[in-house]
Amino acid sequence: MTANLLDYDLDGLAAFCERLGEKRFRATQLFRWIHQKGAVQFDDMTDLAKSLREKLKTTAHIQALTVLSQHISSDGTIKWLFDVGGGNAIETVFIPEDDRGTLCVSSQAGCAVGCRFCSTGHQGFSRNLTAAEIIGQLWFAEHFLRKYLGVEERVISNVVMMGMGEPLQNYLPVVQSLRVMLDDHGYGLSRRRVTVSTSGVVLKMDRLGQDCAVALAVSLHAPNDALRDNLVPLNRTYPLKELMAACQRYLEFAPRDFITFEYCMLDGVNDTPVHAQELVELVQAHGKNGWCKLNLIPFNPFPASGLKRSNHSAVLAFAQVLSAAGIVTTVRKTRGDDIDAACGQLAGDVQDRTSVLKRMAKQRTIMLTPVSEPATLREPGT
């Protein structure tokens, strides 16, 4: 089997090229062809010597995941479903805004943490994604979007590891992918514009700070251990005191001078003024004003959760308590919910492909022929 070059960061590619008897600058050229130009054929890489291209043809390939479907929301959000084999699929979401293009990337098929309010968590854990499968989501989306929009410049300016899976439970492939995102010869994204979201894997938070300090979002969801134990089972391993201390340590490395806390608003569960006040006390006990920001996420319901979204007035009242205490608080706008692309709605289970296909047919869906490179769009039925 030949090597999938999407699996390598620049150092890895340099080592691969060295094994072929090639200098590092050849690896840099190759890396740029792959990530900056989206090339898949070695013969297109015109500034590489013919002899190297021939060697690459017998030892390597460039292969992203197979696209199962693409949905475009009325608000411009695009969701892709990618096949990862064994009846599993993962989802990737592009969210266009006036001043940025954000890609929400998955790190695992399923998730072992099992948060009560998360549909990925309810689905259980299937497997870790490889580095090629993680960076392949950005590779595919970036080069697809350039073609689709008819532009040559970069479309995706921000990446959030907020798709399916707990990124810090798939540490090495995630860090390797982050390095490709940040590399000037890769996607050249700023550390401030790449965010890892974690449910609080304390040991790996410390390692991430040292290995590849990008912006950090921590999924908090509760102001005390009893409630958090229930909503985010990982809290039983890393309780709030340890999590808060890890956040403080991360600040020494972080590209921003604050940590973002995500807080999913669940009706009657964690959304009362008493919870808000407890949350104020929690964050104030662990750092000086301004060390964190709160992002309140309206819960995206799914039937098996048995939970309800907080009503709007409860969210505003909650935000008011935090703001009055000097904590910068935002309420996340829900995007792409007409195509089930909103936070926590990513299930990606294609055990039953017929139901997926039926659902796609009902929605405004553009079918793609399964491809591993930026594809030609084909309207359903053509």
Q: Is 252 a catalytic residue?
A: no
Region near ligand SAH per CB under 6 A, out of 33-41, 76-84, 176-184, 293-301 = 293-301
Q: Under rule CB under 6 A, which residues in 253-312 are in contact with ligand SF4?
A: none
Q: Which is nearer to ligand SAH, 219 or 235 (CB)?
A: 219
297 is a site residue for ligand SAH (CB under 6 A): yes
Residue 73 burial by CB count (10 A; 0-12/13-18/19+): exposed, middle or buried? Answer: buried
Q: Which is nearer to ligand SF4, 175 or 264 (CB)?
A: 264
- What secondary structure letter does DSSP report for 334? P
Residue of minimal CB distance from ligand SAH? Answer: 344
Residues in the chain: 382
CB of 188 to ligand SAH, least distance (A): 24
Q: Which of 22, 91, 142, 166 is catalytic?
A: 91
β pairing state of 3-4 and 60-61: parallel
β pairing state of 78-85 and 88-97: antiparallel
CB of 171 to ligand SAH, least distance (A): 13
User: Which backbone phi and psi does 152 adopt, to 5 degrees?
Assistant: -105, -25
CB of 209 to ligand SF4, least distance (A): 19
**Rounded Cα gap, residues 252 and 125, in angstroms:** 32
Query: Could you say which of ligand SAH, ligand SF4, none residue 283 binds, taking C-beta under 5 to 8 angstroms by partner kind?
Result: none
CB of 237 to ligand SAH, least distance (A): 14
Residue of minimal CB distance from ligand SF4? Answer: 121
Q: Which of 130, 170, 195, 197 binds ligand SAH (CB under 6 A)?
A: 197
Q: Under rule CB under 6 A, which residues in 64-123 are in contact with ligand SF4?
A: 111, 113-115, 118, 120-121
Nearest CA to 313 out of 298, 303, 323, 326 is that of 298
DSSP per-residue string spanning 105-125: ---EEE-SS--TT-HHHHH-E
Query: Could you say which of ligand SF4, ligand SAH, none residue 162 binds, taking C-beta under 5 to 8 angstroms by partner kind?
Result: ligand SAH
Nearest CA to 357 out of 66, 65, 68, 67 is that of 68
Q: Under rule CB under 6 A, which residues in 242-281 are in contact with ligand SAH?
A: 262, 264
310 is a site residue for ligand SAH (CB under 6 A): no
Q: Which of 219, 260, 270, 365 binds ligand SAH (CB under 6 A)?
A: 219
Tokens of 294: 């709160």
Q: How many CB atoms lie within 10 A of CB 272?
A: 15
Q: Within its chain, how far is the Cα of 144 from the centroid?
A: 18
DSSP per-residue string spanning 228-270: HHHH-GGGGTS-HHHHHHHHHHHHTT-SSSSEEEEEEEBTTTT
85: Cβ–Cβ under 8 A, 6 or more apart, which residues?
A: none
Q: Which of 111, 247, 264, 343 is catalytic?
A: 343
CB of 219 to ligand SF4, least distance (A): 6
Q: Is 104 a catalytic residue?
A: no
Tokens of 215: 């912006």
Query: Could you say which of ligand SAH, ligand SF4, none residue 299 binds, taking C-beta under 5 to 8 angstroms by partner kind?
Result: ligand SAH
**Rounded Cα gap, residues 124 and 109, in angstroms:** 9
Query: Could you say which of ligand SAH, ligand SF4, none residue 48 binds, taking C-beta under 5 to 8 angstroms by partner kind?
Result: none
29 is a site residue for ligand SF4 (CB under 6 A): no
**Rounded Cα gap, residues 374 and 204, in angstroms:** 34
Q: How many CB atoms lie within 10 A of CB 247?
A: 24
Active site residues: 91, 343
Binding site for ligand SAH (CB under 6 A): 117-118, 162, 166, 197-199, 219, 262, 264, 297, 299-300, 343-344
Binding site for ligand SF4 (CB under 6 A): 111, 113-115, 118, 120-121, 165-166, 199, 219
